[in-house]
Amino acid sequence: YQFNSAIVREPSISVVNGLRADDRGGPTYEGVKGEHDAYVASLRHAGVEVSVLPSLEAFPDSLFVEDPALVFTGGAILLRPGAPSRVAETAELAPILRDMFDTVLELPTPGQADGGDIMYTPNSVLIGLSDRTDKAGAEALVSCIEQLGGKAQIAETPKGVLHFKTASSLLDDETVISTAALAKASVFKEFRQFIVPEGEEPAANVLRVNDIVMVSAGYPRTIEMLEKANYKVVPLKTAEIERIDAGLSCMSLRW
Ligand code: CIR
């Protein structure tokens, strides 16, 4: 969670058509743009150098740069997103990552994997299986991570959430926060755990960056719990991006 650099992408006007499992009405462009701007400002405030890529009208979900690639200080991996409308986002990121990293691997076929299903922890990278990340994709990713000198483990994602990290996040080297549904996952047994209060499940997608923890502003009990545990919480509005199933981690690639 110590990061010097990040990539984000400006939201497109087409973000109003972003993918969603449940249609509660789409977000407004202005609403998403406001949340995105505040997010970028917080990353910078936390000491991260942020590269802002231009919007891509053809890809409504392309501001969620976390999904088409995975980055480490030693290299990057180009993924194959599980949603057909998002697959070509990878090709849009590839030249940028090739400029920034010496080693850029491509996820071998077959299989698919979204970055939203991948959590870095100090000892290994956790890969959650979901509707977006299948077994073949997860296994291919384990071998890519091993090629970059890392270790990875495959986990289950509870039903009803988009991604593994929709329901869990790393808070520090020893600590995770998750929904009650994911709390018993064997991959978390070595960790100190916080569980988000019932009714605040989307708050499990927090983003620890250097000394701050970005938390969705709409979940006061989660914010209070983390403040009591002495985390430096930065509440950020996410009401608009939540309309298209997104949270804080989705909007950047960090290393
Ligand atoms: C999608 O369904 O792909 C987008 N509407 C939301 C992606 C959220 N990404 C993430 O959690 N990493």
Whole-complex ipTM: 0.98
| Contact between 251 and 63 (Cβ < 8 Å) | yes
User: Is the pLDDT confidence value at 44 over 90?
Assistant: yes
Task: Determine the structural domain holding residue 208 and report its residue range.
Answer: 5-254
User: Is the pLDDT confidence value at 158 over 90?
Assistant: no
CATH of the domain at 10: 3.75.10.10
Give the count of domains, the chain. 1
- Mutation test of ligand 1: which of 207, 250, 252 has the most ligand atoms closer than 8 Å to its C-beta? 250
Pairing of strands 168-172, 175-178: antiparallel
Q: How far is CA 75 from CA 79, 98, 195, in A?
A: 13, 9, 32
| Contact between 32 and 20 (Cβ < 8 Å) | no
Q: Is 86 exposed, middle or buried (0-12, 13-18, 19+ CB in 10 A)?
A: buried
Helix (H, G, I), strand (E, B) or coil at 127: strand
Dist CA 251 CA 9 (whole Å): 8
What pLDDT was estimated at residue 238? Answer: 98
**Which residues sit with their C-beta closer than 6 Å to ligand 1?**
18-19, 61, 64, 66-67, 83, 86, 115-116, 162-163, 166, 244-247, 249-250
pTM of the model: 0.97
Q: pLDDT band for position 199 (50/70/90)?
A: very high
